[in-house]
Amino acid sequence: MSLQSPPAGTATAGLPHSAELEQEREQGSAAPPEAEEDGEDEEDEEEEGEKERDKLPPIPAACGAAAGGLERGAKNQFSTFSSFITTINQKKEGTGNRNSPTQLVIPSIKNVRDLPSICLDVRQKQRISIDTLPQELKAPVPPEPSLPIRNKTVKDFQDDIEKAKSSGDWKAVHDFYSTTFDSFLEINAVFKVDVNSPFNTTEDSGINAKFVNVVYDALLNTPQDVQKSVLKGIINGLLQEWKGPRTKDDLRAYCILLQNPQFSNTSTYVIYAHLLRQIAALTEADHHFLVHWSKKISQRRFKQVVDRLLQFISLRLFPAKPEEFPPMVKCTWWIPSATKVLALFNAANSLISPPIISYTDFYNSTLDHIDLMEEYHNWQCYGNSHRFSFCQYPFIISIAAKKVIIQRDSEQQMISIARQSLVDKVSRRQKPDMNMLFLNVKVRRTHLVSDSLDELTRKRADLKKKLKVTFVGEAGLDMGGLTKEWFLLLIRQIFHPDYGMFTYHKDSHCHWFSSFKCDNYSEFRLVGALMGLAVYNSITLDIRFPPCCYKKLLSPPIVPCDHNTLVGICDVTLDDLFQIMPELAHGLSELLSYEGNVEEDFYSTFQVFQEEFGVIKSYNLKPNGDKIPVTNQNRKEYVQLYVDFLLNKSIYKQFAAFYYGFHSVCASYALLLLRPEEVEILVCGSPELDMSALQRSTQYEGYQKTDVTIRYFWDVVLGFSLDLQKKLLHFATGSDRVPVGGMADLNFKISKSETSTNWLPVAHTCFNQLCLPPYKNKKELKQKLIIGISNAEGFGLE
């Protein structure tokens, strides 16, 4: 098999074909342990594949490829691909030293009672316990082989490039590239800052990043034979025989090779796949180093590596030209390898605050088009077995795809419960009633909170059924509008400052739980259930909770069986307090940086004072805290205990009720897939507005989209500031946020109002409908619209 010719800029012609690579493998490389586990059937397939290696058959069409890439079978996902064996040698004494690739998955999931009481968030697993590796994984370090001496500097290389461009003689450049990438030793000899230093710490990789960047930036602009020599050299490096564990020089070489821009071209994917396979198969201790070194890569390079990995996965799932790739059955390990390497970069990204790139940059939208429920069910059924599922790596699944999983999982639970209700009726020889298939909530407007609480408490077993709301004494069928109105009215009443359940903080524009003690916390459970019902029934709520709330809501993501286990308790920092009470957080921050004598100047003790119903009460932050002064030495402990008291301990009973209310509706293993930020988006929608998308999806009643009033309207709205656009959305829909599915999911409608043009626009938030009079000109429309949206009542505004 000869590799496909690339577009201009990358050369692969003349690379050794797979038969030559196999011959070299037979001379010095043993099959990886994964291949040995596959048994004789796999070896027979290998022999047949070797005969046809020079002429690979085309792989199936895109949909078939997608299915094949996620094929589940008895064989290990790292089944061998005979055309290019490059995994680590397991001969003789080396066999006992190698570890299989780290499986970043959750334990086998059967039921909640099998789960320990701690958080089983798979995202924690994917961060690989980076800072808590046992000592035995961190040493000893094998001796580094001596490196050849290479004295070329960045300036020398740049001078060679300039001379080659002007003279057309690329020999010096060709020699540099072919020598540098010929082996891992040569890569280190050129790019290691000091060849005589081991650089065995996670803090310093010892890589001359500037030199690496300059060499790679110039590579794609060199002649084809130069680029070809680099790929040949990489093949040589990957094919060398490995004995024993990797050295830090080997890890440096992997780190450098991952940044090669040539791997953006599909014609290099066979080589790229085997590089990824070797990296994925490293020990956890080696991954530990790669993760910490990766976080030192510049943001631009980091993003490029992540994008290449995502593109590799996408094109293996849905190849534009299937003939460019080996048959799917021969490389089922491609996608798992790439995903595991991507997990290392996700772990590196999570170690830095703020992160190098956004967590959304790890989303692969291609996965929106695969069978997500098959992925989810495999993950549920097989847990930490060898069956690969993207759900083991939820950072790669977009919020839109996660919403699909949650909704379908919810629907299946709804159907299951409704079916059971029907069977129970029939078994008792009672006439089935269609109402039994729904969660029917009947409330009086004058007793909205108490009636809602009673209904949801009484019908706790039906919470996973489809919600239908009826207002007592009012005719009408709930086609979605009444349900949304119920949510809006209930949230507005519960979050009103006079109600006392939540405190609104003007500085941060968010609500937080009142710390007042009471005898019954059932109303907090109601708020949690409302949030769960909103997610379950795809309703966007206008709730202003800080991000910390959603972090606590996933602590743990699965309700523990032991009711004595604490829930809703998470690690909180001063940054979390800044998002709720910025003034207090600023004061504590100043305490930490105060240069004077804290004990004498502040005269504080380990106590907190809170006003409750006009009475000042004190609470000790630690035993005998009222007798322990805050000093320069213990002020960090004081601040941490203070923050923990405010965000965890002082509101524990309130939040625990809220937690159990939410999980009484949303209890699902799908929550393990979610980040706190994603839970917030599912509940409240996304803050990112795209008014042009709203314009494209808007429906009209009484108007045509070409009418002059509609043209005026969109000219005005698209010219609004972001603040006014949010006010318009809030005015028309009850929330200034966008559902996960985007503006199209709003079902926004503009209706013609036959009232006088002296009237302001009117909105029906339950139906996301704006009633717009036919104003005479654009100026009048703009004036009336701004008055209307700026003086509408909003939740949390006083």
What's the confidence (pLDDT) of residue 795? 35
Mean pLDDT of 474-489: 76
Torsion angle (degrees, nearest 10) of CA 296, 300, 305, 311: 160
Q: Amino acid letter at 149?
A: I
Helix (H) or strand (E) holding 424: helix 399-427
Task: Tell me if residue 766 is catalytic.
Answer: yes
- What is the pLDDT, as a whole number, of residue 141? 52
The band of 479, judged by pLDDT with boundaries at 50, 70 and 90, is: low
- The span from the CA of 732 to the CA of 746, in Å, is 10
DSSP calls for 719-774: TS-HHHHHHHHHHHHS-SSB-TT-GGGG--EEEE--S-TTSPPEEEGGGTEEEE--
Using pLDDT thresholds of 50, 70 and 90, give the confidence band for residue 709: very high
List pLDDT tens digits, range 530-577.
Answer: 999 888 887 888 888 999 999 999 999 999 988 889 999 999 999 999
**Where residue 50 falls among pLDDT bands split at 50, 70, 90?**
very low
- The active-site residue out of 255, 391, 666, 766 is 766
681-699 confidence digits (pLDDT tens): 999 888 888 899 999 999 9
The number of beta carbons lying within 10 Å of the beta carbon of residue 429 is 6
pLDDT digits (tens, 9 = 90+) for 497-533: 888 899 999 999 999 999 888 878 889 999 999 999 8
Give pLDDT, residue 76. 36
| Phi-psi region at 368: left, alpha or beta (left = phi > 0; alpha = psi -120 to 50) | alpha
Whether the bond between 140 and the residue before it is cis, its omega within 30 degrees of 0, is yes
Q: Name every residue whose Cβ is closer than 8 Å to that of residue 576 and which is 6 or more positions away in sequence.
A: 546, 547, 548, 551, 643, 647
How far, in Å, CA of 762 to CA of 760, rounded?
Answer: 6
Q: Alpha-carbon distance 334 to 78, whole Å?
A: 8
Question: What are the counts of helices (DSSP H) followed by strands (DSSP E) for the chain?
Answer: 32, 10
pTM for this predicted structure: 0.76
Per-residue pLDDT tens digits for 580-632: 999 999 999 999 999 999 999 999 999 998 887 778 889 999 999 999 999 99
* Closest of 43, 31, 71 to residue 327, by C-alpha: 71
- What is the tens place of the pLDDT at every residue in 313-330? 999 999 988 888 999 888
Helix, strand, coil shares of the chain as percentages rounded to 5? 55, 5, 40
What integer pLDDT is reported at residue 85 of this predicted model?
32
